[in-house]
A = this chain, B = another copy of it.
Amino acid sequence: MDAEKRLPFASDYQQGAHPRILERLAAANMEANPGYGTDAHSDHARELIRTACNAPQAEVHFLVGGTQANAVAIDALLAPWQGVVAADSGHVSIHEAGAIEACGHKVIQFPEKDGKLNAADVDAMATSWEQDENHDHMVMPGLVYISQPTEYGTLYSLDELSALRATCDAHSMKLYVDGARLAYALAAPSNNVQLSDLARLADAFYIGGTKCGALLGEAMVFPKPSTCPHFFTLMKRRGALLAKGMVAGIQFETLLDGDLYQQIGTRAVEQAGRIAQAFQTAGCELMHPQETNQVFVALDEKRYAQLSARVEMSFWEQLADGRTVVRLATSWATSDEDVDALAALLGGIVLPGN
């Protein structure tokens, strides 16, 4: 381990793209493609996504990043008098610099549990709005935002997702799933929500590229056609349309053509599992169940100082008892060597990598 270079667990977007993506970009480099996502690669990627989602009528649009994807799609899905229901910990609630509000919509925030919204809580809130005789003076809850996996790396079960869908139906709300890290959900041993379930249950969701091995790009899926008319123009209006649309198209073509997206997810989840085990073996408490590629762990002062010097991690929060919560994230690029080195730092024993 290079003393100068800390182990890279700060995020899942530190490296470039999975090598196969770079190869495909290079191979197509001299093609003369039409712009703005009308090229054959983008069309092929759309077809692969429709097939993977078992949603032959789905409309698919490629956006650049997660905040942009959320803002453009949620604004398109909402009427002007409606707002988004989200967990306090939701990306749209706190980590997008007010992008939803910049489009004119309120984020109606809820306390979360392990990063998740509960159907019963959402139902109670929507019912309360409906029964309030002044509700025409209030923002109508129009859409439920969740992320799969959540910002804490946890997963909605199929039952939980179905319950949210039923709640949305009962209150004429839309259901939107932020899949910035969807590869890691799909690859999680504890997961029972497949792409076809998302397509069946959500009004819109996106298959994350940036945090799942692409240079950039998020594939927004509207399972039912005409969900958002003129979405192309809405993307343009928000500066979200790539001139060289094939740059996104080729990447999703690569991720979905075969099982690369699954491979990327599986690899990262396994490495995260090894890391979680190493921390637990070392007596450190996990703050949330490690189900996907993120590990949230509480470190005492000494351990925090030791690791900070050698490991790139994300500071998460300070606990009242003096411990520091940090997040470690893995990706396709996480090497066995780096996981082993981390385990060695922790003095623990870890399962062999693959």
Q: List residues of chain A with CB under 8 Å of any chain B CB.
A: 5, 8, 10-11, 13-17, 19, 22, 25-26, 28-36, 64-72, 75-76, 79-81, 83, 94-99, 101-102, 104-107, 109, 133-134, 136-140, 210-211, 215-216, 229-230, 232-234, 236-244, 246-247, 312, 315, 333
- The answer on a CB contact under 8 Å between B136 and A233 is yes
- Inter-chain CA distance A80–B76, complex, in Å, is 8
> Which B residues are in CB contact (< 8 Å) with A5?
32
- The answer on a CB contact under 8 Å between B29 and A243 is no
Describe A's contact surface by its main secondary structure: loop
- The answer on a CB contact under 8 Å between B104 and A247 is no
A233 to chain B, nearest CB (A): 4
- The answer on a CB contact under 8 Å between B72 and A239 is yes
> Which B residues are in CB contact (< 8 Å) with A98?
81, 83, 104-106, 139, 237
- The answer on a CB contact under 8 Å between B97 and A237 is yes
A21 to chain B, nearest CB (A): 9
- Inter-chain CA distance A70–B66, complex, in Å, is 20
Minimum CB distance partner of A312 in chain B: B32
> Which B residues are in CB contact (< 8 Å) with A64?
64, 239, 242
- The answer on a CB contact under 8 Å between A65 and B243 is yes
- The answer on a CB contact under 8 Å between A107 and B104 is no
- The answer on a CB contact under 8 Å between A216 and B230 is no
> Which B residues are in CB contact (< 8 Å) with A8?
32
- Inter-chain CA distance A333–B107, complex, in Å, is 39
